[in-house]
A and B are shown apart, each in its own frame.
Chain A
């Protein structure tokens, strides 16, 4: 493993567990411990523990924090006016191109914590600081990169909350879905967010980097908990149709085409990219990110998607679904071919295999869907 890669505070834990390490967005990360499918199924049936310390945390605070973020991000920050609420949102450029997808947590009075993708941390910070510098709010907002001292662990699965409950002690009430709250796990002060990227119920745990390894070991001491790598994280998120930045969207794609129009507020006033996105809405998207169920092979990013033998798109995300025992993928295809049930093909090396347009989530019954029912 190259020395230039960043190491999370849990690097030594991964090595001790015999993880297979891979470079990811500049970080040395575990792709698997025992096996991707095994870890995937452990998360769907019990609880999986993920190191997501590579993701960045940016704290934005001050009297102008709300107004500044409202002018920068696509979703309506007014929807998380209550302390502790969280929201999925996008940061776009003036052309409506997606710079990053984010979770914003309303962590305090005049304060928000934004979780950014590891691969975009520098880009995001540069963009935010540049927009702030030219903003009328420049003097009343601070942007602090908390990533280096902040650890993020995800505990996901139907058993996750009962484990957290045992560690949090008597009287503990888990935060509501898409909210964040202070807690102590054993003696460690943390923020517990009822969010995740697996489609299972569970939490993401924010703590000081110095406490990460202790927390990791404490959680792994429960026999219900299985350590999971990036491999399982990818199969879990794609079964739910959750997009991945860099594969499912990037600067060249607008939110409407990416199927993320629901994260773009219509009536909150202007924000960066709002005019461009409105134009796409009026004209209609040309292509749309579409789910595919693929038979007999694993679709992989970059493979051609065909209709009647003619290329109509490329696989954006693609993997094997351990739950469905079949290939699953996403692809930008012409809107006319994005109707559920449309039969396409994926060119897999020397053969083509059948791909049926399917509206995600590919897997519909999880602990999260049951909790929300």
Chain B
């Protein structure tokens, strides 16, 4: 449920590091808590994001959550498919349900994030 090649933020986003780019989505725990996702509101390519600050929001029938960026940098790609098929976030949170790709301005921010094991312990608290 929490792939070992990812690192995790306390607001339940994950990061897959690909060179100097961070691919960002939300965890299995987050999508399960939300329930069936009906809207994903994402920023645009070229926008700046800051670590621990919001970059968008996600809605299910019953609730809405803000999305927090685990890293700082510039958005280089947005998963536009989620506007038509937001349920992909539930079905494949670590794959096709990714949300944004960020060219990191400070790769050391990754060190502050949790490993899969630490994150799993965190959500089970």
Contact = CB atoms under 8 A, between A and B. Distances in A.
A276 interface: no
B36 A37 contact: yes
B83 to A, nearest CB: 9
A36 B35 contact: yes
Interface residues of B, number: 11
Interface string A269-311: 0000000000000000000000000001110100000000000
B61 A37 contact: yes
Contacts, number: 36
A48 to B, nearest CB: 15
Given A36-B62, A349-B57, A298 B39 contact: yes
**B contacts with A: majority SS:** strand
6 contacts: A36-B62, A298-B38, A298-B39, A298-B59, A298-B61, A319-B61
Interface of B: 35-36, 38-39, 41, 57, 59-62, 64
Given A35-B36, A37-B36, A298-B38, A320 B61 contact: yes
Interface residues of A, number: 17
Contacts of A32: 35, 62
A296 to B, nearest CB: 7
A125 to B, nearest CB: 31
Nearest to A325: B38
A297 B59 CA distance: 8
A35 B60 CA distance: 10
A235 B57 CA distance: 22
Contacts of A37: 36, 38, 61
Contact of B36 (A38, A296, A297): A38
A320 B64 CA distance: 12
A158 B61 CA distance: 24
Contacts of B57: 349
B39 A36 contact: no
A235 B61 contact: yes
Closest 4 CB pairs of A and B: A37-B36, A36-B61, A320-B61, A35-B36
